[in-house]
Structure formats: structure tokens, C-alpha cells
Structure 1
């Protein structure tokens, strides 16, 4: 996976918008959106590729207060495919309006949880058949999880308070193994390269995931890239 390095993009707000556009282009999505809450800094962040008209409508009608794609994902640790959401009155209200703006009810929201109570939500949507969506999301969900961590950690570390807190201490071996993981190497590959057993590789990865507050290795890789500990593969 080639992660767009946010540090190479222009000013802060523009770089997140550009990042989301590149995610859409690379993974064949119509739209992408990121929302983040940072209680340590008392800040809320939002970046989307949706039209200005939809953004204004969404805010003016308070749809963020009832949007099930956000509220369900906030309570989840796993990606939330919108096809599995209950089609209740809140869902119908949000997406009957969304359809008027050309936004489909087919998408996914990926939650990211940080070490200081912060939470980020990366959503992506595409207007296609259920069969096409199932095939597409199956191929890209792992990359999207890493990208969710990448943008979340960049946004959170832009807050001064979080910048002071968001620097976990990883060993050189843990960083080395994460760097090889970012390059697409399997645990067996890494073991062969470093002349250690794949079980030892897993021990280091488990430690790195714990220190980075990541559920999976792709999330750990995305987080390490996002805070500048390793480089995109």
C-alpha cells in the first residue's frame, strides 16, 4: 500500500481535503469524509469531499446529531458497513436528504481510537451495485483502515496538547519490523530478512500494537507513519 504522506501536502486544512480526494481516486470511491474528536485539546475536526451545498444542509438541519453512520461507528471497534445498519427513521431522514444531493447510502465508516480518548471516523462511499460494493470493499478495507489511522493521527498531532502526548516509545527492533511491514513483507519474510523466527516477529509486532494503541498491524503501521516513526513503504 502506498500511503499519501500528509507532510508533503500544502497547508493543514487543504492537505486533509487533498488527502481525502486522493483516497477516492486510488480506491474508486465517490466521496470520503473524516471526523475527529480530541477531548485532550477540546477540539473537533471535520474534512469531507462532499459539495458545499450538502455540507451546509447537513449542518443547518443538525443531521450530525442523528447520523447512524457516525453514531454506530463511535461505539464500534470494527469498520461499519452501512448496508448492515438498521434502516430506522434516523437512517431514512439522513439518506432521503443525502439522495437529493447525489449521495448514496452505500459506504463504510472506519473508527480509530487514540490513546488519550480521541476518536476518528473515516467514511467512504460509492454509488454501485451491492455486488460491486462487496467486491470493492473486500479488496480495499485493510488499506482504508491504515489510512484512517494515518489521517487521524496527523489531525490529532496538529493540536499542541496532543503533540506533547502522542509520542510512544518503540524499540529499534519494533520500528524495524514495522518498517518492513509497511513495505508489504509478511511475518515470515521479515523473520528471514532479520534472521529471527516469525514468532519473535509476532512478539515485537504485538508489543508495537500495544504501544501504538492499535488493534491490527495495518493500524499500527498507519499510526507509526502518521506520527513520523517510520516511512510509507
Structure 2
């Protein structure tokens, strides 16, 4: 497939939309969309080929909070055909409205997992018979999986998203001290456990706060846990 190399272009909504329109046309789909989940802010960012009217309605109804093609698929590591979701809560709620905008409930989502807990999902839809749909998917599934990784990696490399997801590397000692704090130990207790002064413990805690852009030690612990650097106590 001849696709736009997103890594060579400045990141923008226009660039991603162009890519999705190309995916839609070359794979003979009605629509294509990409959604990324940011674990740090708990937000969803997306790029779609849907009409503006549906995009506006989708956001106004808060469907991003209940759409099973987002929230159930993000837990999967394999492609999810939407036929598997039709008995899930809120599927009818979302696609009853989608049908009014000419959008089929027949689709597939390819999940992609990134190194910071980020999840991307490339979806494609087509209104056709089940037999035709299954034949099409068998033919294009490999392309869809490659394209999903391509667009997700490009979006994650954009400055705005990367700044939200990337966490500076902590030293082994900083991680060790944060883990003891998460376990409920005081600075004096941690100093005794690690055979260092409590002042040294404070120096490492201050460094960790600065690296994780946190104002307090509890904020530091929370961000370190979200980043997967330490585990809850």
C-alpha cells in the first residue's frame, strides 16, 4: 500500500485526516478513525473521516465516555470485530444515533499499545453484507495492523502528546525511596532501612518531585505509580 509517511510531515489534524482518508479509500471502507488514550490526563484524542455533524453530536452526547469500541477494545491486544461488542452496554445507545448519521455498526478496531501505557486504536467501518465484510477483513487485516502502528507512533511522537506521556527516568535510588514512601515509611525509617541519612532521603525525594513535575510528595507518588515506575503500597 502506498501511504503517507507521517514521520516526515509536521504533525497536524490535517495530516492525520489525510492519512485516514487514504486508508479509507485504498482499503475500500466507508470510514476510518483513530483514537488515542492518554493515561496521564485520562483524555481521548482522535482523528476521523466522519462528517462534522456526527463529530459534534458524538461529543455533545458524551459518547467518548461510553463508546464500547473505545473502552472495551482498549483492553484487548488483538483486533476486535464490532460484532463482538453488540451485546455490550451502550453499543445500541451509540450506534442507534450513529445510524441516523449514515454510519454503520459494522466495523473493526485494531488496538496498539505504547511504552508509556498509551493505547491507540485504528477503526474502519463498511456497510455491506456480513459475507462481504468477512472477505474484506481477511484481505486487509495485515494492512490495518501495520497502519494502526504507523499512525499511533506518529501521534505519540508529536510534541504535545509526548510531553503528556513521557516521564523522565528516575535513578534506582529514587525509585527505591519512592517505593518505600508508597509503603508508608517515613524519611527516618527509609534512611535506617537503606543505611543513609534522612537528609539524603530528602534530596532524592526533591529530585524525584522535580523530574516528575510534582509539587508534593503525594503527587510524586501518584505520578510514579501511573507511570509504572513503582507499585501501590
TM range (shorter): 0.5 to 0.7
Larger Rg: 2
How far apart in 2 are the matches of 1:62 and 1:108? 21
2:55 corresponding residue in structure 1: 55
2:38 corresponding residue in structure 1: 38
How far apart in 2 are the matches of 1:22 and 1:104? 19
Deviation per CA, 1:109-158: give whole Å up to 9, x if none.
Answer: 11100011111011100111101100001110111011001000100010
Cα 1:41–1:88 change in 2 (3 A) is: closer
Cα 1:147–1:161 change in 2 (3 A) is: closer
Name the SS of the counterpart of 1:127 in structure 2: coil
How far apart in 2 are the matches of 1:11 and 1:156? 10
Partners of 1:9 and 1:15 within 8 A in 2 = yes
What displacement does 1:3 show?
3.5
TM-score by length of structure 2 reads: 0.65
What displacement does 1:66 show?
1.4
Name the SS of the counterpart of 1:78 in structure 2: coil
What displacement does 1:43 show?
6.2
How far apart in 1 are the matches of 2:128 and 2:72? 23
1:97 corresponding residue in structure 2: 97
Name the SS of the counterpart of 1:2 in structure 2: coil
Partners of 2:21 and 2:32 within 8 A in 1 = yes
What displacement does 1:39 show?
3.5
Q: How does 1:115-134 map to 2 (within 5 A)?
A: 115-134=115-134
TM-score by length of structure 1 reads: 0.65
What displacement does 1:7 show?
3.9
Unaligned runs of 5+ in 2: 168-233
1:78 corresponding residue in structure 2: 78
2:201 corresponding residue in structure 1: none
Name the SS of the counterpart of 1:83 in structure 2: helix
Name the SS of the counterpart of 1:123 in structure 2: strand
Deviation per CA, 1:79-110: give whole Å up to 9, x if none.
Answer: 10011223345111111100000000100011
What displacement does 1:40 show?
5.5
> Paired residues, what number?
166
Unaligned runs of 5+ in 1: 167-233
1:228 corresponding residue in structure 2: none
Range with greater deviation from structure 2 (121-130 or 79-88): 79-88
Cα 1:161–1:132 change in 2 (3 A) is: closer
Name the SS of the counterpart of 2:90 in structure 1: helix
Partners of 2:20 and 2:33 within 8 A in 1 = yes
Q: How does 1:1-233 map to 2 (within 5 A)?
A: 1-9=1-9, 12-39=12-39, 44-159=44-159, 162=162
Cα 1:161–1:98 change in 2 (3 A) is: closer
The CA RMSD measured in Å over matched residues stands at 2.3
